[in-house]
Amino acid sequence: MNLLFILSAFSFLPGKAEVYLLPCPFKYLTGYDCPGCGFQRALLALFKGNFQESFHFYPPAVPILLTIVISLAANYWWGARSKRLINVLFLITGAVVMVSYVYKFFFKN
């Protein structure tokens, strides 16, 4: 019951957080999106529960978050034995980021 109260007390924060988004210095300097452009907006959309909007802003947001959570959990439980799993997860996620970036760069503009 207390967790539900705490979550409802802070439910206004995602709506107000859009004011504090950081601008991308790469886009400011070059005029082009960087491979991470859209992640902040995608994360806010996920916090609001809007998965479709999150995917529209930045498709690799969910794979990045899953990689972070799984890597931290694997490192906590298995320690050094999880190194191969973590490396594979980061390679797959990096590939998803790059494919998404190339698609956005060449086919969306």
pLDDT at 58: 93
Answer yes or no: are the C-beta atoms of 8 and 74 closer than 8 Å: no
Instruction: Tell me which residue of 7, 49, 4, 42 sits closest to 21, measured CA to CA.
Output: 42
Residues 69-93 have pLDDT tens digits of 999 999 899 888 889 999 999 999 9
Rounded average pLDDT over 55-62: 94
Q: 10 Å Cβ neighbour count for 67?
A: 20
State the pLDDT confidence band at 100, using cuts at 50, 70 and 90.
Answer: very high
pTM given for the model:
0.76
Residues 6-37 have pLDDT tens digits of 555 555 555 666 777 888 899 899 988 889 88
Q: How far is CA 57 from CA 42, 52, 62, 77, 87, in A?
A: 5, 9, 11, 33, 26
